[in-house]
């Protein structure tokens, strides 16, 4: 429901930097529901400050255009990296995949524990944790992005009864049976991502959305040790705990999952970051240099409307890994997909 532009910001020291400027599209600019959704996302993002969450600089309204200003990230999404590795019949290194998921768990913990100025919990749930919303920078950083579907106590928009939002292959079982949801659906989605990152196989995705929903409902998780030679028992235990169909049997907090993942990795943040940066550089040779040159040239352009577009695509959910995003309408215990 928004377009993303390159903007120029001026820091407190007077230096200039390029930013990502997210502006609600004109066709949604007079729809109260979309305006509230956009405003809700901005208010949640503005409260979040964590190294593994995209940084929000400001938000507001200019000439009736609602906008969010965020840091401009350079890199690729986990979905894009997964696609390219799968096409080349390569695997994401297990420790790198676990470390990426550990950083996302750390970001989720910060979001889940967010409180308002009075100290009351905001009860934030991301609701859209999936590889297309995990951004991997050229510098080896991991950033959780896109809180557009986030649910929180401060939101003014409420989901219509029977409507479930999110990428279908990453939904938790309780979401498709219209049971109450809480932060643990994010951990289930991260568990699905972890399992897929380690096996390079889709977990619940099937030939069509109805079959995918049935697979989620059945919640059968194949043993990755039977798919990948040498897959560690301890990593399977983490994925299996995150993927328990009963939320009470699952990880209860993202910090618990993060700690187990970090223990598996061995706490080697600098090593893992460097390995991730090297992997992205190998998969996308020369792209970081192109982006640096583009950024340098764009800063020098006084009218940004004349600047060249970025040398790499803006992150989207169009990856083969995800398929077409949709909402689900639940009627009489069955499923109906609403594009």
Active site residues: 128
DSSP-assigned letter for residue 151: B
Q: What H or E segment, with its residue span, contains residue 331? A: strand 326-331
Phi, psi of 278 (to 5 degrees): -65, -35
Query: What span, in angstroms and rounded, lies between the C-alpha atoms of 119 and 113?
Result: 10
For 61, the token pair is 């309204």
DSSP-assigned letter for residue 115: B
Q: How many CB atoms lie within 10 A of CB 101?
A: 30
Q: Tokens 């255009």 belong to which residue? A: 65
Burial class (CB in 10 A: 0-12, 13-18, 19+), 60: exposed
Cα atoms in the 13 Å half-sphere on the side-chain side of 268 = 11
For 174, the token pair is 């309780």
For 245, the token pair is 């169909």
């Amino acid at each position: 429901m928004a377009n993303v532009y390159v903007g120029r910001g001026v820091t407190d020291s007077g230096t200039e930097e390029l930013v990502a400027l997210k502006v609600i599209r004109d066709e949604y600019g007079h729809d109260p529901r979309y305006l509230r959704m956009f405003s809700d996302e901005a208010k949640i993002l503005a409260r979040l400050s964590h190294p593994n969450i995209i940084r929000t600089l400001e938000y507001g309204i200019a000439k009736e255009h609602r906008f969010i200003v965020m840091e401009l990230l350079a890199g690729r999404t986990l979905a894009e990296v997964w696609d390219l590795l799968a096409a080349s019949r390569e695997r994401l290194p297990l420790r790198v995949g676990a470390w990426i998921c550990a950083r996302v768990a750390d970001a989720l913990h910060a979001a889940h524990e967010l409180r308002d100025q009075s100290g009351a919990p905001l009860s934030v749930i991301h609701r859209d944790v999936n590889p297309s919303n995990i951004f991997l920078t050229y510098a080896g950083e991991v950033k959780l992005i896109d809180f557009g579907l986030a649910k929180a106590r401060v939101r003014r928009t409420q989901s219509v009864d029977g409507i479930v939002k999110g990428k279908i292959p990453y939904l938790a079982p309780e979401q498709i049976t219209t049971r109450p949801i809480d932060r643990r659906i994010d951990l289930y989605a991260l568990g699905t991502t972890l399992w897929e990152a380690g096996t390079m196989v889709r977990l619940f995705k099937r030939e069509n959305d109805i079959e995918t929903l049935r697979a989620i409902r059945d919640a059968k998780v194949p043993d990755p040790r039977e798919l990948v030679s040498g897959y560690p028992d301890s990593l399977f235990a983490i994925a299996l705990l995150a993927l328990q169909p009963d939320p009470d049997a699952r990880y209860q907090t993202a910090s618990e999952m993060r700690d187990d993942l970090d223990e598996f990795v061995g706490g080697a943040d600098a090593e893992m970051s460097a390995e991730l940066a090297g992997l992205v550089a190998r998969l996308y040779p020369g792209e970081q240099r192109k982006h640096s040159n583009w950024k340098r040239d764009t800063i020098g352009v006084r009218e940004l409307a004349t600047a060249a577009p970025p040398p790499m695509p803006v992150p989207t959910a169009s990856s083969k890994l995800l398929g077409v995003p949709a909402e689900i309408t639940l009627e009489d215990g069955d499923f109906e997909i609403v594009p």
